[in-house]
Each structure stands twice: as structure tokens, then as C-alpha cells.
């Protein structure tokens, strides 16, 4: 993983920092695992804008990712590490012994030709292998974790993210989340060994506003410059500050807790994330 700083031959490249793409081995995706991806432009079924600042962007095709890793006991060989326009992490193409091909989220250190396994018995805790929390050694760095058994990975899937298995007690495992929160998960939940790939993603600098438009992000208007009819922070004479930061619905931001105190899953949170 590396980043490259471009020479300032144009204003848009003066501050731009791009991905080195050292880990990428091919630029052509597997055709059988592609699906069309339709854009909404922030409009609902009536064509009305319900989400601001969305629209445009380069056309993409969705890569069908195997988040469940439910092909147990069959080795899969890593055929390639690829770029995915729909996520920050890189993806790996696995070719299983029975001929089936699947995409998975790639972990740091995956190599072409490496054999990966998933299952709950007799699997070594090596990078890229997937197994239940009951089989993973304590202290191991993990990613792509299930919240409920059989659901598929939902936790720690973005570039460079990881969690850590801290302890086991009864039918629960204690996992330190990427946010810093410590949470109880059932031992039957599957997780993948290793850190998610492309950990240098956070070091990239786009360099110009147009690159946001390529990603489908339209210009965002600051609430403080709006009129009172448009936003609680709008209005006032000249450059007035706008008072306390809040959403268009009046819900405070920057420190205001919105999680319900009676939520059923509160009992599974051992330690809250740090402010």
C-alpha cells in the first residue's frame, strides 16, 4: 500500500495525492460477478428530490461480494486483487476447487495464488480465512464481522478498518470495535482474520472540486448562509454565526446523543466509544 504525490503541472494536480495501486493485479473485473447499478439522483419514486447534494457521477457496475463466506471447507485460490468503485477497500477474486468464483473483501497482505478457507473446524487463523469467533485466538485482529449469525459481514468492512477479539464468556465474545466501543457478539458469528486492505485510503487528497462530482456529490450549501425558512441556522444580518449547529429538523449536532436509552441492544454494549 502506498500513495503518490503528483507533480503540480495543473492547478487540480498541485495538491493531489493518489493511490499507488501497488496491490492491484488486474483492471478487468470478472464479468459473471457484475450487476447493473442504477442511480437515483436523490429522487424518490415520484421524482421528487428527497436527498440533497446527490446526482451525476461516473457510471458504475456493482461487484457482487460474498459477505457470508458460507462455502465451508472448500479451498479458494486468490486469482486477483481488484479495485472496486463501490467501496474504499480492494476486493479479491476467489476461484474455488469446484469451479465457482466469488468476490470477497481483500485483507492486507493477501497474495495472488494464496489459498483461503472458511468454516468452523480445523482452519488456521491466517490472514483471509473466515471462522466463527469461538475458534479465533484471543487478541487476534479481525474484520468483516457478522452482527448476527448467518447475516453476513456488516462490521469493519471499509479500507484499513479492523476490530480485536478481547475475551470470551459463556455464549458471547467481547469485541473491541473500530469506533473504540466494546461490544458482546454471539460466538457463532463469523469474522475474517486480518485488517481490511487499502489502509492508505485516508491519505488521499482529491485536489479539485470536480473529482467530487465524478463521485456523484453535488455542491453543499452551508446552513448558515440559508434563509430562516430553509434552515434553523439561517438568517441574520451579514455574517452572523447561526447559533448552535443542528440539522434541518432541529436535531443538535456535535456531541448530542441520538441513540435511544431503551434500545434492546444496549445490554450488549460493554463500553461506549470515546467522545
What is the average pLDDT across 94-110?
Answer: 96
pLDDT confidence bin for 1, thresholds 50/70/90: low
Going 115 to 120 to 124 to 129, the CA torsion angle's sign is positive
* pLDDT exceeds 70 at position 204: yes
Could you tell me how far CA 272 lies from the centroid of its own chain? 21
- CATH 3.40.50.2300 fits domain 3-202: no
pTM of the predicted structure, to 2 decimals: 0.92
Q: Does the structure show a pLDDT above 70 at 97?
A: yes
What integer pLDDT is reported at residue 103 of this predicted model? 98
pLDDT of residue 242: 81
Beta strands (DSSP E) in 56-206 are 61-63, 76-82, 91-96, 101-105, 115-116, 130-132, 141-143, 145-146, 153-155, 163-169, 172-176, 182-186, 190-193
Cα–chain center distance at 224: 31
| Sequence spans of domains, the chain | 3-202, 225-267
Q: What percent of the chain lies above the pLDDT cut of 90?
A: 94
Burial label, 45 (beta-carbon count in 10 A; 0-12, 13-18, 19+)? exposed
pLDDT digits (tens, 9 = 90+) for 142-179: 999 999 999 999 999 999 999 999 999 999 999 999 99
Q: In what order do the strands lie in the sheet with 172-176?
A: 130-132, 190-193, 141-143, 163-169, 172-176, 182-186, 269-271
Classify domain 225-267 at the CATH class level. few secondary structures
pLDDT, greater one: 63 or 243: 63
Give the span between the Cα atoms of 34 and 63, in whole angstroms.
Answer: 5
As a whole number, mean pLDDT of residues 108-137 equals 95
Mean pLDDT of the chain: 95
> In angstroms, how far is the first alpha carbon of the chain from the final one?
30
Amino acid at each position: 500500500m502506498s500513495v503518490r504525490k503528483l507533480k503540480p503541472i495543473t492547478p487540480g494536480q498541485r495538491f493531489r495525492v493518489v493511490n499507488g495501486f501497488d496491490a492491484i493485479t488486474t483492471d478487468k473485473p470478472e464479468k459473471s460477478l457484475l450487476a447493473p447499478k442504477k442511480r437515483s439522483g436523490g429522487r424518490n419514486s415520484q421524482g421528487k428530490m428527497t436527498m440533497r447534494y446527490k446526482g451525476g457521477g461516473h457510471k458504475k457496475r456493482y461487484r457482487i461480494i460474498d459477505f457470508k463466506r458460507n462455502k465451508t471447507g472448500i479451498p479458494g485460490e486468490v486469482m486477483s486483487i481488484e479495485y472496486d468503485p463501490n467501496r474504499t477497500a480492494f476486493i479479491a477474486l476467489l476461484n474455488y476447487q469446484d469451479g465457482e468464483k466469488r468476490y470477497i473483501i481483500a485483507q492486507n497482505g493477501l497474495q495472488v495464488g494464496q489459498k483461503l478457507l472458511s468454516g468452523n473446524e480445523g482452519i488456521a487463523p491466517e490472514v483471509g480465512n473466515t471462522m466463527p469467533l469461538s475458534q479465533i485466538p484471543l487478541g487476534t485482529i479481525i474484520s468483516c464481522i457478522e452482527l448476527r449469525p448467518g447475516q453476513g459481514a456488516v462490521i469493519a468492512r471499509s479500507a484499513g478498518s479492523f476490530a480485536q477479539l478481547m475475551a470470551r464468556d459463556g455464549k458471547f465474545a467481547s469485541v473491541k470495535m473500530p469506533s473504540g466501543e466494546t461490544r458482546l457478539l454471539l460466538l457463532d458469528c463469523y469474522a475474517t482474520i486480518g485488517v481490511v486492505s487499502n489502509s492508505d485510503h485516508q491519505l488521499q487528497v482529491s485536489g479539485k472540486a470536480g473529482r467530487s462530482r465524478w463521485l456523484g456529490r453535488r455542491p453543499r450549501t452551508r446552513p448558515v448562509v440559508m434563509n430562516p425558512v430553509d434552515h434553523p441556522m439561517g438568517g441574520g444580518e451579514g455574517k452572523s454565526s447561526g447559533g448552535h449547529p443542528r440539522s434541518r429538523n432541529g436535531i443538535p449536532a456535535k456531541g448530542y446523543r441520538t441513540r435511544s436509552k431503551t434500545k434492546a441492544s444496549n445490554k450488549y454494549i460493554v463500553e461506549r466509544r470515546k467522545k
